[in-house]
Amino acid sequence: MSKQIPKFKNEEEEREFWATHDSTDYINWDKAEKITFSNLKPSVKKISLRLPETMIEELKLLANKRDVPYQSLLKIFLAERIEKELNAH
């Protein structure tokens, strides 16, 4: 039987509580459901990537056919491949 989660006066009080208590005493994580927050904008990090000029030009051609910026198309390609690789394992 899980313990009852107390009512908190504010976020700071709740933060202090969870810093000193184990959530498994209060929440049955076996019954948790996975959800996605589709409206959240993911944080981004700028990187520097060196690619052959021919690859960039080909990417620009493909992007032009789809009427999207080539950087956006590159992100789409990376996301698709990452998903494929993660699902393969």
Token output for 6: 């107390």
Residues 77, 56 contacting (CB under 8 angstroms): no
| Domain ranges for the chain | 1-33, 43-89
Which amino acid, 85?
E
pLDDT in tens, 44-74: 899 999 999 999 999 999 999 999 999 999 9
State the angle between helix axes of 53-66 and 70-88 in degrees (0 to 180), rounded to the nearest 10.
100
pLDDT in tens, 4-57: 999 999 999 999 999 999 999 998 888 888 888 778 887 889 999 999 999 999
